[in-house]
Amino acid sequence: MFSLVLTVAFFCLMTAAVIPGVTGATAVDLGTARTFAVLAESAITDTTSSSSVISGDVGLSPTTGAAIVGFDTCTQVSGAGKTIYKVAAAGPVCALNDPATVGKAVTDMESAYSSANSGAPDFPVTPGEIGGRTLLPGNYSWTEAVSIASGDVTLDGQGDANAVWILRTTGTLTSGADRKVILINGAQPGNIFWVVAGYTELGANSGFNGTILGAGYITLDTGAKLTGRALAHTAVTLNKNTVTVPLPRGAPTAAFTFTNATGMAPLTVAFTDTSSADPTATITTWAWDFDNDGIIDDTTRNPVHIYNTTGTYTPNLTVTDSFGAIATKLETITVFPAPVADFTFTPANGPAYLKVAFTDTSTSAGTIASWAWDFDNDGIIDNTTRNPVHTYNTEGVYTVNLTIKDSYGAVATKLDTVHVTSPSLEITVTNVPISLALHPGVINTNAEARFYVNSSSDWEVTAQDSDSHNTNGFMTSYSGIQYDPATRLNHPFLVMDQVSDYVPISTNPILQKGNPEVSGTAYPLGVQQEVTLTDPVLTGSNVYRIVVTLTIASL
């Protein structure tokens, strides 16, 4: 006795370890017998007339309807389209005389019995007393009587609504009074098949699940309830019983939507459950594993989670319906590192009217979509190009602010400092005076006066007739080209005449070509040189002054 107990206990532990991989059991095809709650070949009896409640068809063949006893009013057969089928005219007047339909159902029942007996078992043979045990899906076989006496038996679907049990015995099947076949974790009565070579008896007030395919008779004692079918090659006897053909029940579907499938860490993601269940069931539990590491992180229906670390995550939702069936859904979330705003610039310091070139060196897991430059950090965006140039006209220390936005909508900022000192000039003007003998309408090809300017800052030069004798036209105005600071330059100044745009110049490469331009505001800072010009057309000599005005140019 002690050895037997140990053996049974060991088998239970071994079964729990082995069964999750079992896939051998498939549902038995009942054919047209699937609509029948009670089907027999020799007799059907409701011992207390019209006392049972049957949801499904009732049929007897090949014995005539005379062997259908206790169905005088047929009120125990309920549900739309539910019918008592018989052979020949004898039997309950409420029954339908349809030997073809009931005969085909009996043939299909016998085929189903044979098919269910043909598969190899998935587990070692164990004692036939299965009360108190939990059976996982698969094929079971016994060569002795099977009984549910010492306790209830539990069928565990392990969350699979399509799990199948085939439980066959070469002996009898009995259930004690008040004993039950309990279904958990998605197990469905329509996927349970008890294949019995001997007789079957369900005890008083017992609760049984599954289709009974019996070669012998099937008896339901007083008050027994069967969610399944009583399909016997011989007779079925009822006594104030409830027999219900199980309706197919769909497995739940796990589904969810979520915000921010991609983004920058820390990434806040709001999950919304959209799972569904069979109309006869409801979703009862939600288990969220946000990084699919096997640890449940949240059990609310619509959680919010923050991903603080970059990486690719597969959030896992597992739902369970009110019948214990389980479904799982996986999705993918990618968390990127934050973009980094960065830039270089040159020069980093210098005198006022400092022209600074900025070069963006920002990085992002996506692409940089926009640049916003605030050159003095006053909150006003000054430029939106990637690599701008900006001139600082006033002495001071300026904080440059670059804000970038990448293709994922992430924003980053970088600050740096430009130092601008007071403006300074280092100017040398060399005058090379010449005598001009100009006559109206005459071009003197030697009429050149050169002023050479060497400056460490941007500069302009302007010349004009100091006596404002514009009608004489010996002088005109000219503005030199502006140059970058910190470059030692040689730049010529040309004396212009009245007739041509400019006096023809030599091939000296330092001479500036181009039409003269009027300069902007000139601030007196420089030198002036008088040049005496003798004009034979005019009486006497005229003294003109060439005025060179040097300014710090505002670009």
What is the rounded distance in angstroms from the CA atom of residue 535 to the CA atom of residue 314?
95
| One-letter amino acid of 431 | N
Q: Is 44 helix (H, G, I), strand (E, B) or coil?
A: strand
Alpha helix (H) residue ranges in 46-194: 99-116
121 contacts 141 by C-beta, under 8 angstroms: yes
Q: Is the pLDDT of residue 469 over 70?
A: no
C-beta neighbour count of 197 within 10 angstroms: 17
Spatial CA neighbour of 303 closest among 316, 321, 294? 316
Evaluate if residue 46 carries a pLDDT over 50. Answer: yes
Residue corresponding to tokens 């005005």: 549
Q: Is the pLDDT of residue 143 over 90?
A: yes
Q: Are 291 and 298 in contact (CB under 8 A)?
A: no
- Please, which residues have CB within 8 angstroms of residue 311's CB and are 6 or more apart in sequence? 334, 335
pLDDT value, residue 301: 97
Q: Are 200 and 226 spatial neighbours (Cβ–Cβ below 8 Å)?
A: no
How far CA 490 is from CA of 192, 385, 433, 493, in Å, comes to 103, 34, 18, 10
Residue 103 has pLDDT above 70, yes or no: yes
User: Is residue 511 pLDDT above 60, yes or no?
Assistant: no
Cβ–Cβ under 8 Å, residues 127 and 8: yes
Residue 462: pLDDT band with limits 50, 70, 90:
very low
Tokens of 256: 């969810």
Give SS3 for 189: helix
Tell me the β-bridge partners of 86: 97
| Residue 134 to residue 70: CA distance in whole angstroms | 37
354: pLDDT strictly greater than 90: no
Q: What is the mean pLDDT of residues 358-376?
A: 95
Question: What would the mean pLDDT of 234-247 be, rounded to a whole number?
Answer: 95
Average pLDDT for residues 378-399, to the nearest whole number? Answer: 94
Integer angstrom CA distances of residue 535 from 171, 436, 463, 474: 145, 8, 20, 10
Cβ–Cβ < 8 Å for 104, 125: no
pLDDT tens digits, residue range 284-327? 999 999 999 999 999 999 999 999 998 999 999 999 999 888 99
Amino acid at 361: T
Cα distance between residue 466 and residue 296, in whole Å:
92
Give the angle 272-261-369 at the CA atoms, nearest 5°: 140
Q: Is the pLDDT score of 375 beyond 70?
A: yes
**Inter-residue contact 375 to 403 (CB < 8 Å):** no
Q: According to the model, what pLDDT value does residue 338 have?
A: 85
If pLDDT is split at 50, 70 and 90, which confidence band does 154 have?
very high
Q: Of 178-192, 276-290, 413-427, give the lowest mean pLDDT range.
A: 413-427
Res. 385: pLDDT tops 50: yes
Which is higher by pLDDT, 463 or 338?
338
How large is the average pLDDT for residues 147-165?
Answer: 94
**256-335 and 343-421: identical CATH topology:** yes
Lowest mean pLDDT among 45-49, 149-153, 192-196, 233-237: 45-49
pLDDT band (50, 70, 90) for residue 13: very low
Long-range contact set of residues 343-348: C-beta below 8 Å, sequence gap at least 24: 343/400, 343/402, 343/414, 343/416, 345/400, 345/416, 345/418, 347/486, 348/418, 348/419
Determine the pLDDT at residue 457. Answer: 44
Tokens representing 359 are: 């070069």
208's tokens: 């049984």
Calpha distance 454→550 (Å, rounded): 11
Interval 488-498: pLDDT, tens = 222 333 333 33
Cα 19 from Cα 384, distance rounded (Å): 66
CATH top-level class of 256-335? mainly beta
AA letter at 205: N
Candidate from 15-19, 368-372, 384-388 with smallest mean pLDDT: 15-19
Average pLDDT over residues 186-194: 95
Q: How far apart are CA 111 and CA 89, in angstroms?
A: 27
**Residue ranges covered by each domain of the chain:** 19-244, 256-335, 343-421, 424-555
Q: Give the tens place of pLDDT for each residue, 438-460.
A: 333 333 344 333 443 444 444 44
Summarised one tens digit per residue, pLDDT across range 266-275 is 899 999 999 9
Cα–Cα distance for residue pair 478/471, rounded to 1 Å: 17
The topology under which CATH files domain 343-421 is Immunoglobulin-like (2.60.40)
Range of lowest pLDDT (140-149, 218-227, 515-524): 515-524
For the four alpha carbons of 536, 538, 543 and 549, in that order, the dihedral sign comes to negative
The pair of structure tokens assigned to 345 is 């610039």
Contact in structure between 457 and 351 (CB atoms under 8 Å): yes
Is 543 exposed, middle or buried (CB count within 10 Å of its CB: 0-12, 13-18, 19+)? exposed
* 417/554: higher pLDDT: 417
What percentage of the chain carries pLDDT values higher than 70?
71
**Residue 24 — pLDDT band, cuts 50, 70, 90?**
low
pTM: 0.58
Tell me how far apart the alpha carbons of residues 540 and 548 are, in angstroms, rounded to a whole number: 26
What percentage of the chain exceeds 90 in pLDDT? 56
The pLDDT-based confidence of 79 (bands split at 50, 70, 90) is low
At residue 288, the pLDDT reads 98
The mean pLDDT value for 83-87 works out to: 93
Cα-based torsion angle of the residue sequence 552, 553, 554, 555 in order, rounded to the nearest 10 degrees: -150
Grade residue 209 by pLDDT with cuts at 50, 70 and 90.
very high
What pLDDT does 206 receive? 97
Mean pLDDT on 326-354: 91
pLDDT value of residue 81: 67
pLDDT of residue 323: 87
Could you tell me if 274 and 255 are in contact, meaning their C-beta atoms sit under 8 angstroms apart?
A: yes
Burial of 158 (0-12, 13-18, 19+ CB in 10 A): middle
Distance CA 9, CA 3 (A): 10
pLDDT at 488: 25
